[in-house]
Structure 1
C-alpha cells in the first residue's frame, strides 16, 4: 500500500474501490481537448476515479479520511451508471496493517456524497450496520442536515442507507473544528453546501486534503470545477484561496480520487510537480 510520512503522522491509502465517471461531468465547462491532455479518458469519455480512503495514524489514533464506495450495497444498475469496476476491500487493507474496522477511532468526512460515504455502512447478517462501530464521525453541520433531508437535486447522492446506522456516531461542526492542535477541518462549501477540507500541520509544514474541490491533480486550475458542484462560484473562491496558499508555501496536497498521484507538492509557480507519491493500483 502507498504511504506518506508527514512528521509524526503516517498516511496510508486503503483499497476503497474504483468508479469511472463522465469526464465532462468531472470537468464541467472545460472543453475535452483541454482537460484530456491532463487526465486520460476511455472510449466512453469516462475517467477513472478511485475511491481510496486515507488511514491517518497519529497520537495513537487510527483516523479514516473518507470511507470508500463500500461493498455489496450497489445494485448492478448503479454499478453500471457509476462505472464501478472495483468495490471496497478496506477490511483486507486494514488486516495487512494488523488492524480491524473496530480499531478505527475517528472518521473525517469532507462530505457525504455516495462515493465518499457508502463505506460508512454495510450489510451484516441481513442487517444494515455501521462499518466502523467505535469511530466518531466528523462532518459539517450543513452537510449532515442535507444528508438527512436532501433536496430534489441532492437526493440522488445522499442515500438513507449511508446515514441511518451511524446517527449516534456523528459529531458536527459549523465553520471549523480542531481534532487535534495539528489537525483541523474547515467548512468551505462549493462542491456541496456542507463540503469541508482537512488541514494537517507538522511544525512549519502543512498538508491539505481538498476533497472534491480538487479531486485530482488535473483540477488544480481554480476555474476547473465539476458540473456536479452545487455552488461552483463558491468552489472557485475556495480553490483560489487554498490552492494558491498551498502552492506558495510548499504544502502537500493529497487525493482520494486521483488515479495517478496519492500526494504531491507543486513548485512555487504551480507549473511543475516538485515532490510526488505516485499511486500503485490495488490488484
Structure 2
C-alpha cells in the first residue's frame, strides 16, 4: 500500500475496487485524440478508474476519504456496464495495517455517488448494515438531501442501499467543516450539487483532495471536466480556483480514482515536481 506523509497527516491508499467508465463521458467535450494522450483507454473506449479510499491518520484519529464500491453491491448488468473487475478489499487492507473497521473514527464523504458510497454498507447475512460501525459519516447538507431525494438524472447514482443503514451515523455541514485543526472539508458543488473537497494545511505542508472535480492526473486542465458533472461550469471555476491555490503553495494533489498515480505535486507554474505512483500487483 502506498503512503504519503504531509505534515502530521499520514495517508495510506486502501484497496476499494475498480471500475471502467466511458472515456468520452469522463472527459466531456475534450476531443478523444487529446485526452487519450494523457490517459490510456481500452477497446471499449473505457478508462480504468480505481475506487480506493484513503486512510487519513491524524491527531490519533483514523479517517477514510470516501468508502470504495463495496462488496456484492452490483447486479450482473451493473458489473458489466460499469466495468467492475474488482470489488472492495478495504477490510483486508485494514487487516494488513493491524486495524479493523471498528478503528475508523470518521468517513469524509466528498459526495455520495455509488462509486464513492457503496462501501458505506455491507451485507450481514441478508441485511445491509454499516460497514464502519463506530464512524461518523461527514457530508454536505446539500449532498445528504440529494442522496435521499434523487431526481430523474441522479436516481441512478444515489442508492437507497447506501444511505438507509447508516443514516444515524451521518453528520452534515454547510459551507466548510474543520474536521481537526488544519483539515477542512469545503463545499464546492460542480460534479454534484453537494460535492466537497478536502484541504489540509500545516505550515508549508499542504494536500488538496479534489475528488471528482479532478478525478485523475489527466484532468489537471481546469477546462477538462466530466460529462457526468451536474454543474460543469461550477466545476471549471472551482478547479481553476483550487489549482491556483495549490500551485502557489506547492500542494500535493491526492486521488481516489486515478489508476496510475496516488498523488502529484506541482510547482507554482503547474509543472510536475513530485509524484507517488500507484503500485501494480500481480493479480491485475
TM-score by length of 2: 0.98
Distance of 1:73 and 1:180 partners within structure 2: 32
CA distance in 2, matches of 1:223, 1:6: 28
Q: What displacement does 1:268 show?
A: 2.1
- 1:99-118 alignment, distance < 5 Å: 99-118=99-118
User: After superposition, where does 1:80-229 map in structure 2 within 5 Å?
Assistant: 80-229=80-229
Distance in 1 between residues matched to 2:280 and 2:140, nearest whole Å: 31
Partners of 2:268 and 2:187 in 1: CA distance: 26
- Contact 2:250 2:265 (C-alpha < 8 Å) held by counterparts: yes
1:27 and 2:27 correspond:
yes
1:273 equivalent in structure 2: 272
- Three-state SS of the structure 1 residue aligned to 2:84 is coil
Q: Secondary structure at the match of 2:71?
A: coil
SS at match of 2:44: coil
Aligned-partner Cα distance in 1 for 2:205–2:4: 14
**Is the 2:54–2:65 Cα contact (8 Å) retained in structure 1?**
yes
What SS does structure 1 have at the residue aligned with 2:107? strand
| Cα displacement string for residues 214-272 of structure 1 (whole angstroms, at most 9, x for unaligned residues) | 000100111100000000000011011001111122011000000111001012221x3
Alignment of 1:57-96 (within 5 A): 57-96=57-96
Residue 204 of structure 1: CA displacement?
Answer: 2.3
2-structure distance, mates of 1:243, 1:109: 21
The superposition leaves residues 42-78 of structure 1 with CA deviations (integer Å, 9 ceiling, x where unpaired) of 0111000000010001111110001001001111111
Equivalent-residue separation in structure 2 for 1:206 and 1:4 (angstroms): 12
Classify the secondary structure of the residue corresponding to 2:276: strand
Equivalent residue of 2:111, what SS?
coil
After the TM superposition, which segments of 4 or more aligned residues of structure 1 sit over 3 Å from their partners?
none
